A and B are shown apart, each in its own frame.
Chain A
Amino acid sequence: MAAYLPLFVALPLAAGFACLLIKGVAPRATPWLSVASMLGLLALAVGAVARGGVEVTFAGDWGLRPFGDGVWVSGVALVLDGLSRLFLLLVAVVGTASAIYALRYLAPEPGRPLFHVLFNLLVAGMNGALLAGDLFTLYVFVEVASIASYGLVAYRTGGTEVEAAFKYLVLGTLASTGILLGITVLYAATGFLNLADLAAAIAAGAVPPVALAFASGLFVLGFATKTAAMPFHAWLPDAHPSAPAPISAMLSGLLIKTLGIYALVRVFYVVVGMDEQVRLILTALGCLSMWGGVLLAQAQDDLKRILAFHSVSQMGYVLIALGLGTWLGVAAALFHAVNHALFKSALFLSSGSLERVTGTRKLSEMGGVFRRAPATSVGLVGACLSISGIPPFNGFWSKLLILIALVSGGQYLVALLAAGAALMTLVTFVKVQRKAVFGALPARLAGAREVPATMYLPVLALVVLCLLSGLLWPAGVDGVIGAAASAVRSPAGERPAAELYIESIHRSPSR
């Protein structure tokens, strides 16, 4: 019985509107509502992972209907396969950490209940996008999450934050409009919106090649902008630092993966098909992002901007692994996406804590907080080690797996570029650790105090998860991540994964 699937969207949506309802009478309860809804999602996601298989449910009692000479899907389908399962769990974990962090991070100002409304809407949108069984539902939930994030970036309504949100909104809406145009083209050519039916129709050649290329180009443009791949990254270095720290963690840790990577994988691996040009484009975008992000981060002094540029770079890694088109490539890409979500959100939350401890975001003004704020420092160092790729933390293993996938796929030049970028990442984060945590304490910070436990505990929990992910990675890759990869690309390449997806939908029980 897959009827519980809408709960992934309905729970945060209800929590968000409950926050709106009680904002006049009990505003201090709203952060706890967010924490409760995130914990509920965590329970649901763990339950979903434990069940396995492909689960399909339809909104209302619609479903498969005979029409013409076949049976087609009518109505809105919610589909949970291995890929969605992985990301749902990720959203729940990082969402819980951010919600707990936000308990004490945000002062109880009049606008805080509205923050929590938007926070819950953001999570509801992401979950809906992950479960969407047809292209338009995917688009709608991508928009819900995006618009919630535009509002959240502008939460502190100062000049720079609103300007960053403006740029983010303009580029984001441009991307979404491109996606809608692509959907229009595909609908005009096939008459289907459901992912399974579309995949079958495209595989059967119902879409003229020019139209398919046009739609694919629009999808790449749109979803690559959402992933902040270079050269479509212009909004991220301003938007992610301007947001409050828990939102930066959600944006860099989750949004660019669910609206970007997941959507790219779902649209290209399952629906449109990964042919030569698409793979080339993804690899090219990936290489550009990897190096562009790392190089541009060198010139920055603001800690959050450095982290933002490195998000671009790490997404580049994921893209080049996706561009391979093999099972190992997809598995490595997803593994790295999961790891990045864990350590990048830990990094952003730590940067918020550091800002609270030192009163600044500039690395040049920080130093030696290790004695004054030990828990924050440990969290930051752990997350820095993860992103730099130091064993036994998870970053090392996922980057290694990507390199192995590249080499076994024959992409030696790209593997070399990836290794070089990894080195530069290491250099940057050694510098970050040296300046922020170790070194001499400036005189004005002599009275600095540690942040509350609800702020450093989520970071430490995420770092522990990074460590576990690094130590237990073979089990992970065999288990959840492998299931995710197999959902879109069969291991030995014997059957196109789209067929598996389509069959699962058509075999689903419905009236």
Chain B
Amino acid sequence: MTTTSAEGLGVPMEAAHAAPRSRPQAYMNPYLAGIGLGLVLLASFVLVGRGLGASGAFNSVIAWGVHAVAPEHAKSNEFMAGYLGDGSQSPLKSWLLFEVIGVFAGAMFSGLLAGRAKVMTEKGPRVSVRTRLAMAFAGGVLMAFGAAFARGCTSGQALTGGALLNLGSWAFMMMVFAGAYAVANFLRWEWR
């Protein structure tokens, strides 16, 4: 456990002690959290025969949005058409989208319970909020391209495919760590 508590940005410890209600709980032991996450993933395999995911839900929403504004354009785009299906039901009726809405609810519940839910921007001490938000946007764009090429993200590929010994998922996972470690030193200003 390091300096990642929500009050880590410049709030003196005395102040945190003076206001015990705002003092967030420590995070769960990573191995326990991992077992919990693994059991949720296992439940998903057993109940529905598929794993967890996240990025696919974003694709469904984009396909739905573009289809609402410009239906012909969405249908003529091969990538979006894949998420629209045969048109018999809304692309929002997607398993992954319902799962991701659950992620939102579950995380909010846990965060509120632990006193960690707080409107703030996560960043290192040396970077402005504006720059950090620009970087967050850029990271999201990169992530979208990566997940699209890989057919999944850290959830759908690394976690799910990892547990199923999927060859492409393991190659993907190694590359995620490789890519991240390759650039981490150049981005130290954003985080440290």
Q: Do A and B make up one complex?
A: no
Residues of B bordering A, CB below 8 Å: none
Show the binding face of A for B, using Cβ within 8 Å.
Answer: none
